[in-house]
Chains A and B, each alone.
Chain A
Amino acid sequence: MNTTAHGFKERSVKALQNTTLQEALARAYGGFVHKRQAAIDALPEFDALCEQARRIKDHALDHLDHYLEGFEAALTAEGGKVHWARTPEEACQQVVAICRAHQARRITKGKSMVGEEIALNEALEANGFEVVETDLGEYIIQLAKEPPSHIIAPAVHKTRGEIAQLFHTFHQRIERSQPLAEVPDIVEESRQVLRSVFLSADVGITGANFLVAETGSVVLVTNEGNGDLVSTLPPVHIVVSSIEKVVPTLEDVTTLLRVLGRSATGQAMTAYTSLLTGPRRADDRDGPSAMHVVLVDNGRSAMLGTAFRDMLRCIRCGACLNHCPVYGAIGGHAYGWVYPGPMGAILTPRILGLRAAPDLPQACTLNGRCQDVCPVHIPLPALLRKLRMEAFTQRITPPRARFPLALWALLAKHPRLYHGVMTLAAGLLGRLGQRRGRFRTLPFARGWTEGRALPTPAVQTFQSCWKHRRRSDPS
């Protein structure tokens, strides 16, 4: 996927002014938070499960090559084929080659964020394949030619009015008079339209929520059931997964499933959780005759030896997005690439480079709520600070931010100078604003005063008053 992550600031302001988007976000933001909270309140073991989930992911990352090889061996033994791709280009080439080898024309897809990451749809379409997304949210944004704005709810930024409009534009079968006013109408319309697509596809492509090394199984978690139709109906199933999704055993994946659903949608278990282990067996009556798994690195192995290894524990539940006040205010598109919110603010600069996304690590108050709700305890604020340090050291932080900081640091390192300057500042500004107690506007503090009054400094600093008190109070 192309990135516009460098334009974050501008896009975030536009998002704040977009009333339709604000309407959609206002509806979604609280819902996720409350559903998650209710699910956790109902499970006293939740914290212990999260701790266990963290340990499992850490262990798997410690022995990543071992478990990936184990996964490959186990899946191969069941008749599946594993392909290794270092870059997005390699991954796309491999998928295209498989589709060509099977003389495919129409491809159905289940939602895959790695697919978005490697721009798979664009690559397939450029090679003449027809690609249809089948997750309703992904289908909607495919029609709208937009990127997903949330990792588990790709069309969360769209209102039902906008969706109905899209269906009227793209679905020839519906009558103009059919209003599609209500949510059930929209869902029914997509079911009708996509049914024939499912049945006529030559290849089905899905992502993977987890890979199980022990059995060579690909784990797919959905609510719509589209993932199961995509992986069962066409003669070929291709899975696109990043390498960090592997876990050792079936027991391990069980723990992760217990925290994933609850953190994402507040569900103890989604409607469909499938473990797919190879192509159809000799006497099976349905299922694909070939199963391929493309394992994509795209920057993951380079993160392993660094502090950012913690980020590889991410299980893509979206809780950090749902609890982030910045994401809640502007939605996902402003972030400019596949992954938005706190996890995206770390992954995007890690995968694409800090210069491609200089704002993302900065546009955060470090309030820490994301870390609180992360089921695998990723220290997101600490990683954002780490990125800020890299940006500072590599001089990606712009001079207009560095200069005031340097000046302030110089003062802070010299207490006598500092107190002298503060006494002057207080004397001047304090007296200037003394009567009203606040400034309406100040030339050097426009960022503050455009939306807020600035409370005035006191006429005398604490330290000046304290000095006087000590003088008059010899005890």
Chain B
Amino acid sequence: MPSESIGGAPGTAVRPAVDGDCVAHFTRRITAAGASLVRTESFATIPEAVRAFLDELGFSYNLVCSGERAFDTIAWPAGFTLALRTAADGDHSSLTGVVAAVAETGSLVVAAAHHSPNTLHFLPENHIAVVRTSQVLRHLEDVWRLMREHSGMPRALTFITGPSRTADVEQTIQIGAHGPRRLHVVLVDA
């Protein structure tokens, strides 16, 4: 992907210090940005975490989802329907994986791909994202390393840091502008 004739700007790199445990840092930052987060010990307990979130808000168990390999191994209880497709108007909740998460900013990193339609990240009211603790990287730059090691940049790569918001009316922050009203992170020890 990188064109070899192009170098970067000179100068030593400065990065914000991210001390200590990345997962703890990530958790603090993304919840401060308005996301809800629940930590769970294994893939097997993901359905429980998702159900609790949906129950509290009174949403159905119909999910549009990305084609995470991990999701296939989970035994979804009766009542759950998972549809792997692009999101459409009227879909309440999406369930997706992430390509990474960033401790520095408390961001999820999602990428458009065949198994991960981009509309899942933006169209539904609730975006539920499953993040493995091993996916939490320290700095934003670590994501670029990951991209370079793999197949290069996807069509769309997005850092998601909290639910959709606007401050365009009287500079008052209001959640739920055009994107998801809620961002729920299920953090799995894996």
Q: Do chains A and B touch in the complex (CB under 8 A)?
A: yes
Q: Is the interface of B mostly helix, strand, loop or mixed?
A: loop
Q: Pick the contact of A44: B17, B160, B169, B171 (CB < 8 A).
A: B17
Say yes or no: is B93 at the interface (Cβ < 8 Å to chain A): no
A214 to B11 Cα, complex, angstroms: 18
Say yes or no: is A409 at the interface (Cβ < 8 Å to chain B): no
Within 8 A of B (CB), among A11-40: 24, 27-28, 31-32
Are B179 and A225 interface neighbours, CB within 8 A?
yes
Say yes or no: is A285 at the interface (Cβ < 8 Å to chain B): yes
What's the interface size class on A, roughly?
A: 35 or more
- Nearest-CB distance from A252 to chain B (Å)? 5
Q: Which residue of A lies closest to B125 (CB)?
A: A191
Q: Pick the contact of B9: A59, A183, A190, A198 (CB < 8 A).
A: A59
- The interface residues of chain A lying within 8 Å CB-to-CB of B119 are 232-233, 286
Are A187 and B10 interface neighbours, CB within 8 A?
no
A55 to B11 Cα, complex, angstroms: 7
Name the segment of B39-47, B48-56, B73-81, B105-113 touching the other chain: B105-113
Contact with B along A278-289 (1 / 0, CB 8 A): 111101111100
Are A225 and B122 interface neighbours, CB within 8 A?
yes
- The interface residues of chain A lying within 8 Å CB-to-CB of B169 are 136, 155, 158, 160, 163, 183, 186-187
Q: Pick the contact of B144: A67, A160, A251, A267 (CB < 8 A).
A: A251
Are A275 and B8 interface neighbours, CB within 8 A?
no
Are B3 and A225 interface neighbours, CB within 8 A?
no
Are A183 and B174 interface neighbours, CB within 8 A?
yes
Q: Pick the contact of A272: B2, B153, B158 (CB < 8 A).
A: B158
- Nearest-CB distance from A423 to chain B (Å)? 54
* With A49-B14, A224-B179, A254-B141: A248-B156 Cβ-Cβ less than 8 Å: no
Are B15 and A278 interface neighbours, CB within 8 A?
no
Say yes or no: is B170 at the interface (Cβ < 8 Å to chain A): yes
- The interface residues of chain A lying within 8 Å CB-to-CB of B86 are 285-286
Within 8 A of A (CB), among B124-169: 140-141, 144, 147, 152-169
Q: Which residue of A lies closest to B122 (CB)?
A: A228
Within 8 A of B (CB), among A259-278: 265, 267-278
Contact with B along A289-330 (1 / 0, CB 8 A): 000000000000000000000000000000000000000000
Are B3 and A73 interface neighbours, CB within 8 A?
yes
- The interface residues of chain A lying within 8 Å CB-to-CB of B162 are 271
Are B156 and A272 interface neighbours, CB within 8 A?
no
Within 8 A of A (CB), among B1-45: 1-3, 5-17, 29, 33
Are A55 and B178 interface neighbours, CB within 8 A?
no
Are B165 and A271 interface neighbours, CB within 8 A?
yes
- Nearest-CB distance from A170 to chain B (Å)? 16
- The interface residues of chain B lying within 8 Å CB-to-CB of A155 are 168-169
Q: Pick the contact of A271: B2, B16, B164 (CB < 8 A).
A: B164
Central interface residue in A155, A195, A223, by most chain B CB within 10 Å = A223
Are A27 and B171 interface neighbours, CB within 8 A?
yes
- The interface residues of chain A lying within 8 Å CB-to-CB of B157 are 217, 274-275, 277
- The interface residues of chain B lying within 8 Å CB-to-CB of A140 are 168
- Nearest-CB distance from B41 to chain A (Å)? 29
Contact with B along A39-67 (1 / 0, CB 8 A): 00001110011001001101110000011
Are B114 and A229 interface neighbours, CB within 8 A?
no
- Nearest-CB distance from B187 to chain A (Å)? 18
- The interface residues of chain B lying within 8 Å CB-to-CB of A373 are none
Are B6 and A249 interface neighbours, CB within 8 A?
yes
Are A276 and B155 interface neighbours, CB within 8 A?
yes
Are A223 and B167 interface neighbours, CB within 8 A?
yes
* With A136-B169, A159-B170, A269-B107: A45-B15 Cβ-Cβ less than 8 Å: yes
Say yes or no: is A255 at the interface (Cβ < 8 Å to chain B): yes
Say yes or no: is B92 at the interface (Cβ < 8 Å to chain A): no
Q: Pick the contact of A223: B13, B114, B177 (CB < 8 A).
A: B177
- Nearest-CB distance from A355 to chain B (Å)? 34
- The interface residues of chain A lying within 8 Å CB-to-CB of B85 are 285
- Nearest-CB distance from B108 to chain A (Å)? 10
- Nearest-CB distance from A232 to chain B (Å)? 5
Say yes or no: is A188 at the interface (Cβ < 8 Å to chain B): yes
Say yes or no: is A347 at the interface (Cβ < 8 Å to chain B): no
Are B123 and A272 interface neighbours, CB within 8 A?
no
- The interface residues of chain B lying within 8 Å CB-to-CB of A247 are 9
Q: Pick the contact of A52: B2, B14, B117 (CB < 8 A).
A: B14
- The interface residues of chain B lying within 8 Å CB-to-CB of A143 are none
Are B153 and A215 interface neighbours, CB within 8 A?
yes
- Nearest-CB distance from A401 to chain B (Å)? 37
- Nearest-CB distance from A88 to chain B (Å)? 26
A224 to B176 Cα, complex, angstroms: 8
- The interface residues of chain B lying within 8 Å CB-to-CB of A199 are 89
Central interface residue in A52, A231, A265, A274, by most chain B CB within 10 Å = A274
Please name 14 pairs of A and B residues whose Cβ atoms are closer than 8 Å in the assembled complex, sorted by A.
A28-B170, A52-B13, A183-B172, A199-B89, A215-B153, A223-B167, A224-B179, A225-B177, A250-B141, A254-B144, A268-B106, A273-B159, A275-B153, A285-B114
Other A-B contacts than A265-B167, A285-B114, 11 sampled, CB-CB below 8 A, are A31-B171, A49-B14, A59-B10, A60-B9, A156-B171, A223-B164, A228-B158, A277-B157, A283-B113, A284-B113, A286-B86
